[in-house]
Structure 1
């Protein structure tokens, strides 16, 4: 393998987001800098291979992380991310790479400054993502699942056509007899939430419909956020839940209000959870094809790491799919 030059003080400074003077003081044990900063800079230097010979691709390791929310949450418990991580692991192993999964609590430490990986697959990266900023500074190849919050020319990402998918769902609900369709939208700053919401609002404008949006709350197991929308003569008669738990939240809310699904309320949920085929009634879902996404993203990432010239330019589309079940109904029952 081709030897890689030892990182310079400037390389370490960019990766650690400090000045070269601070790097010099930290490595030499001089200057008046905080001990935490000194330790962090030394960790970054070690991660970059400072003071030891390196070889290109020596680690043969890629990482995967979900950086949508800064707090500690176990994204592997969500079906989409769980399936994506499993598929990415399989795709990495098939190409001779190990894959490590990073915890979501990126605010807890600065581990990405010294993370020993050849490349990173970052899912749902929001604007101002500190992990992306640090990895860019280190020159580590990145591939994104979904449009990155701060895209740059030359970035690579895989994504669904959220405009087309949202329209397909809304047209399907309209064809089933729905006349007032609400959206359960995301509460994060990731591209997915913004793209689905914007597509819904454009569709409503084209169909002279008033947008009705509810913010997704993972803690709202009984779907109380829908209560106001399910009362009265002008209640909604269909909801597209863009996040995994939304289908179950809607079933709970409908039962509480005495509404029949799908006769009184039609439900579609974006989810990879196979359990929706067994609910009462079975819930129509949108699959965002996480396995397809992961395999495509890992292929692009490995091509960037190995610089083999096969990485496609621009975004790589991944088709989504509508899995129609009972909950989205057809025409409402008489009476």
Structure 2
């Protein structure tokens, strides 16, 4: 059986016929409100099971999970997710919520049918996501980092413009002298992988170029799946790695095959890893600004939970940025 939904500030406000701000002040002992109003709001909150300062109200809780792969992998070791989780935790605490981080392999089990959260931030949700289906059925408020795999009217998500960003990277590599540009893209079914790959294919079609796409392999730590792409007279002379470890793997592959970066191979990687500024050579990266994305997503989620959100459904777009370094063969920007 599904648990009884816990009351929100909006529920208390409706029952007490006051605003959510008044409810917050009454429960926290802040603000300039009459004592009779404060007492009435607390009585309504207690009757609804929310609790009062005298009865130790439960901690309101948000969840965060990455459901791209239904396998056990530690996404907090990836810089993008690590920085997003840190920012999401900070905003959740500021809004009065705890935040729990769920393991990646929970998407395939029954946890989602009983998980005690007030709302969920879901990152990189693929099509047919079982966790999303379970939470939707329970009426749990959801906000997505990235376009949901199965979007519905009324959904909220925060994302970058991946088509514009991919085209910026490809144009940058072309301007630096690259003539045969490959893409290392994700092998999951999340929107990010599909959007980047589609933008790359469209860019190639416009120029009559053959698309060269190598799937990203989580287990390929040394980048050996890239070797065939980088050998022979028709080898790629530039690669855009759409996932965080790709830049390190391309540098390893280039060293293994005796290729100079950027002389023989230009490299760009989408990553939030600050270590790319100190590799040999420093790697040009695309930052998707996970902190800003997470802050916006958690703010949307709390607004949905508390009933005070005025944002229209659909996307909130966070700008990406190209950080030019030596690996892409162009002159880095001053500063």
TM-score range, shorter chain: 0.7 to 0.9
Counterpart-to-counterpart distance in 2, 1:133 and 1:58: 26
Aligned to 1:141: 141
Secondary structure at 1:105 match in 2? helix
Q: What CA deviation, in whole Å up to 9, does each residue of 1:76-135 have, x standing for no partner?
A: 111100000000000111111111111111256311111111110000011111111111
Please say if residues 300 and 312 of structure 1, whose CA atoms lie closer than 8 Å, have aligned partners that are also in contact.
no
Matches within 5 A, 1:38-117: 54-55=49-50, 59-107=59-107, 109-117=109-117
Large movers: runs of 4+ above 2 Å: 1-4, 52-59, 309-313
Separation in structure 2 between the aligned mates of residue 66 and residue 218 of structure 1, nearest angstrom: 15
Contact 1:304 1:311 in 2 (8 A): no
Deviation at 1:54? 3.4
2:105 alignment partner, SS class: coil
RMSD, matched Cα: 1.8
Aligned positions of 1:1-335 closer than 5 A: 2=11, 54-55=49-50, 59-107=59-107, 109-330=109-330
2-side partners of 1:91 and 1:189: how far apart? 29
Q: Which runs of 5+ in 1 are unaligned?
A: 5-51
Unaligned stretches of 5+ in structure 2?
A: 1-8, 14-46, 52-56
Q: Distance in 2 between matches of 1:180 and 1:65?
A: 37
Instruction: Give the SS at the match of 2:285.
Output: strand
Per-residue deviation, 1:222: 2.0
- Residue 313 of structure 1: how far off its partner (Å): 2.8
* Contact 2:148/2:191 (<8 A) preserved: yes
- Following the alignment from structure 1 to structure 2, what is the Cα–Cα distance between the partners of residues 303 and 221? 41
Cα distance in structure 1, aligned partners of 2:292 and 2:119: 19
Distance (whole Å) between structure 1 residues aligned to residue 69 and residue 100 of structure 2: 19
Q: Distance between the aligned counterparts of 2:232 and 2:71, measured in 1?
A: 38
CA offsets, 1:188-239, max 9 Å, x none? 0111000000000000001111100101112222221121121222111100
> How many corresponding residue pairs?
284
Aligned-partner Cα distance in 1 for 2:216–2:108: 25
Query: What is the CA distance between 1:58 and its match in structure 2?
Result: 5.6
Provide the rounded CA distance (Å) in 2 between the counterparts of 1:330 and 1:318: 26
Q: 8 Å contact 1:284–1:326 — kept in the other structure?
A: yes
**TM-score w.r.t. length of structure 2:** 0.81
